[in-house]
Amino acid sequence: MAEHTLDTVLIEGLAVETVVGVYDWEREVSQRLLVDLEMAWNIRIPGASDDVADALDYAAVSERVSQCLQAMKPQLIERAAEEVAAMLQSEFGVRWLRLALHKPGAVPAARSVGVRIERGVRA
């Protein structure tokens, strides 16, 4: 019987400065995006070994998310969320993730706007 992985690795409030938006002025400036990630990962092995090689390296994940968003320069945060999720699944072997992408200040009357997606199977 397969063991279910209910453990998650969290990255919350990762700030990434990048070009994002559809308006002409937005294509000429950097804006801040905030990324929240929950990624399914069995932490029993690194929990027992105390070896970073057995863990999901959240520093490496954070760096790749930042690189991905900065290189992409998306018009829509929906595209950004999809691309980041696909990258995490293919490059890091994350089977399930929940990703929230926030664009603070995009709507003056709101603290932030954004999207939240889940991809993969949490098993």
Which residues are tagged catalytic? 103
Can you tell me the distance from the alpha carbon of 26 to that of 96, in angstroms, rounded to the nearest whole number?
A: 32
Write out the E strands in the chain.
8-18, 31-40, 96-104, 112-120
Q: Count other Cβ atoms within 10 Å, centred on residue 86.
A: 12
Collapsing DSSP to helix, strand or coil, 41 comes out as coil
Which residues 6+ apart lie within 8 Å of 73 measured at CB? 18, 19, 20, 27
